[in-house]
Amino acid sequence: MSVWCPICGKEFKDGRGLAGHLRIHHLQVVTPKPQRMQAKIDTLKKENRELKERIAELEEENRLLSRKLERSYEI
């Protein structure tokens, strides 16, 4: 009984051949990230975004303080 690769349609004479093909040619597709892993990645991405915003805020604060400092020297 023949089997076909559900991704590229290649024909194999048994499931073992197909399994090997999937492992080699469609690695990303047949080993999807587990749900929990994806949730963790999403959380980290969100944290990353928040940290970037925080950094932007701190940089702005830094600029203001530097300007203040420069002004105090001028006096």
Name which of 29 and 65 has its Cβ closer to Zn ion. 29
Q: Among 5, 12, 17, 30, which residue interacts with Zn ion (rule: CB under 5 A)?
A: 5
Q: Among 4, 7, 14, 16, which residue interacts with Zn ion (rule: CB under 5 A)?
A: 7
Backbone dihedral region for residue 63 (phi beyond 0: left; psi -120 to 50: alpha; all else: beta): alpha
CA nearest to 62, candidates 54, 72, 50 = 54
Query: Residue 63 CB, nearest distance to Zn ion (Å)?
Result: 54
In the chain, the largest separation of any two C-alpha atoms, in whole Å, equals 90
> Does the protein bind Zn ion through residue 8 (CB under 5 A)?
yes
